[in-house]
Amino acid sequence: MDLKSGYPFWAVSNGLMQAFPRLAADQHCDVAVIGGGITGALIADELAGHGFDVVVLEQRDIGWGSTAASTALLQYEIDTHLVDLAKRHGETDAALAYRACAEAIDRLHEVASAWRDVGFARNRSLYYASRRRDVRALEEEHAARRHHGLDVQLLSAARVREDYGFDAPAALLSTQAARVDPYRLTHRLLQRLHKQGVRIFDRTRVEDVQTTSRSVTLRTDTGINVRAAHLVIAAGYASQHWLKQRVARNRSSYAVISDPLPEAQLGFLGDTLLWETARPYLYARSTPDHRVLLGGEDDAIDIPAKRDARVQKKARTLLKRLGTLFPGLAITPAFSWAGTFAETEDGLPFFGPHPQWGSRVQFAMAYGGNGITYSMLGAGLLRARIERRRHPLWPLFSFQRLDR
């Protein structure tokens, strides 16, 4: 499937970092992972680091699917407000999800700290009210997050103008956020695993999966078999093709990145992620080489040709909207692209087995705006399921919540 279009910056700037071999002979392992993006890499790293024999299979080049199109804002904030999530799933579970996402930022920091070249940096997150009528919702959200121990400040319009130089009726400022180069982190993780003996195969497409009570057998389009005790399907939104039940809807998001700017011109964007209450929302961040990365203008188009045709127009709209916020910030666009992603109704991911497949097949559907954060959490959750241990996030992040 065509997951992106245009020229995604991460793939262009990094190039093809490493090609892994195609699968050429039958394999046996403890866990097979379908998907060589950031989600599959984090899960493979978690499992291999705890003694599992892992095989990773990717139908494209490593990291060339949704990972290359990701804008990689790492936040604990879920697209669904804490107060709204509490109405759907109860306050206890909603708070658990938010706190777990906050802890996941720390865990991602630990993972990324093994390398100096993956663009990881701690950031703050500024979530501003797009309209005056959104202020009350921000006030309620601020109170709910503070009640559950999350570090967040409510800023007035005057404070936003004074500290950040643009006009907004109010904003929430959080300290627990980060940014990363997702393509490079994926390659670094899988390169390390490869050196440790993990078998990684790209340009290898799985065509069929058969399960028994004790094992799973994968067959590729070239007739080669992989037999595993467990299978994890971590193929981004394409994972839905393995399910008869529709559990998410596909959407496309658009991004544009600037030429490098003098560091002084970046202002607060040098260490702060910016996003808004409107849906779909505009968001912005910077990169280590002082570029401004903008994203948003999401729509329901997931037909590649139609999506591709919109990239330049969407990029112009994103630049215009940023220019409205910051008239003095003159940026020159360098690359623009689009990527299709999946979005669940409540903004939460799905991890674990689905009734259609039984306990041997685990899904890793890190859907929504928190994909990388969810993937970090899901890696531990899936390991717990494979080891037959309880995990506090299991009821909320599993397919069981569809029956509530």
% of the chain surpassing 90 pLDDT: 92
Residues 248-280 have pLDDT tens digits of 999 999 999 999 999 999 999 999 999 999 998
Residue 310 contacts residue 254 (beta carbons within 8 Å): yes
pLDDT in tens, 278-297: 998 999 999 999 999 999 99
Q: What phi and psi values does residue 37 have, to the nearest 5 degrees?
A: -95, -165
The pLDDT score that the predictor gives to residue 5 is 62
Mean pLDDT of 82-92: 97
pLDDT at 304: 84
In this predicted structure, the answer to whether residue 1 has a pLDDT above a threshold of 50 is no
Answer yes or no: is pLDDT of 196 > 60.
yes
* pLDDT at residue number 56: 98
Q: So what's the pLDDT on residue 284?
A: 98
pLDDT at 330 over 90: no
Give 4's pLDDT tier (boundaries 50, 70, 90): low
What count of other Cβ atoms lies within 10 Å of the Cβ of residue 211? 14
pLDDT of residue 305: 87
Of 6, 4, 3, which Cα lies nearest the Cα of 334? Answer: 6
Q: Per residue in 336-353, pLDDT tens? A: 999 889 999 999 999 999
Among 158, 175, 176, smallest CA distance to 167 is for: 158
Range from 103-112, 326-335, 358-367 carrying the lowest mean pLDDT: 326-335
Q: Is the pLDDT of residue 363 over 50?
A: yes
Cis before residue 333, ω within 30 degrees of 0? Answer: no
Cα(242)–Cα(268) distance, rounded to whole angstroms? 43
Cβ atoms of 276 and 297 closer than 8 Å: no
Whether the per-residue pLDDT at 82 is higher than 80: the answer is yes
Q: What is the set of domains in the chain, with CATH numbers?
A: 4-69+183-247+347-403 (3.50.50.60), 120-178+251-343 (3.30.9.10)
What does the CA dihedral 289, 290, 292, 293 come to, rounded to 10 degrees?
Answer: 30
Q: 121-125, 153-157, 300-304 — which is least confidently predicted?
A: 300-304
**Gyration radius of the chain's alpha carbons:** 21
